[in-house]
Amino acid sequence: MADSGSFTMPITITAFARSPDRGRGLARDMGVRWALEEVGQPYGVRLLSFGQLKEAQHRALHPFGQIPTYEEGDLALFESGAIIFHIAQRHVGLLPEDEGARARAINWMFAALSTVEPPIIHREMAMLTERDKPWHSERLEMLDDQVHGRLDALSQRLADVAWLDGSFSAGDLLMINVLRRLTTSGLLTDYPTLSAYIARGEERPAFQRAFADQLAIFNQAS
């Protein structure tokens, strides 16, 4: 159960020394930073180059040689969803106390990562790596349809409410983090409800602090 009063060992996460997102807060340390800010936990950041990600020292923490990782005393985690889940369980602020509401918030965490994110990532990858293929426009149409299917459903869910299930939770944090990947795609234009939902998340002071911190790293490196 969450316990904001419990002693926490110093927390260190990893992030890109020079993020390819150019400070837009789209790399996956952003959600972890945001979660830590929401629960008021200070943390340190170890910055890594792409080369360092693949070195044995980092692979001992992250088998796939990626960011982010999370270290807290003897505990080392990778996978941003698992890290955010750990933070949400360990501290008050991201999961409701009521058992049913808590289970539903966790449900939305999984929905963000397993149902909404995959078509968004597939479309992103198609735009990055398949533009020169003769079948690109046909495939893009199919991927756009898949993304729209998820956005339609989410938009309906959020039509009359601020957050996915009652108060803001780790489910909203992950969902907004996923939807932010679409902000330059043009696909959100037809979804004012979702744009407003993203804006509500981005207006949160915890988001603002997390965003400013990752941007400062990018600006220092430039």
> What is the binding site for ligand GTB (CB under 6 A)?
20-21, 26-28, 53, 65-68, 79-81
- Give the residue with the Cβ less far from ligand GTB, 92 or 215: 215
* Cβ proximity to ligand GTB, 81 vs 93, nearer residue: 81
In the chain, what is the straight-line distance between the N-terminal and C-terminal CA atoms, in Å?
42
Q: How far is the CB of 193 from ligand GTB (least distance, A)?
A: 24
| Shortest distance, position 124 Cβ to ligand GTB, whole Å | 8
The distance of closest approach from Cβ of residue 167 to ligand GTB in the complex, given in angstroms and rounded to an integer, is 24
- Please give the distance of CA 119 from its chain centroid, rounded to a whole number: 15
Buried b (16+ CB within 10 A) or exposed e, 194-211: bbebbebbeebebbeebb
Residue matched to tokens 């981005």: 202
The residue nearest ligand GTB at its CB is: 66
State the minimum distance, in angstroms, from the CB of residue 121 to ligand GTB.
9
* Phi (first) and psi of residue 47, to 5 degrees: -90, 140
Give the sheet arrangement for strand 44-48, strand by strand. Answer: 44-48, 11-16, 69-72, 75-78
Nearer to ligand GTB, 18 or 209 (CB): 18
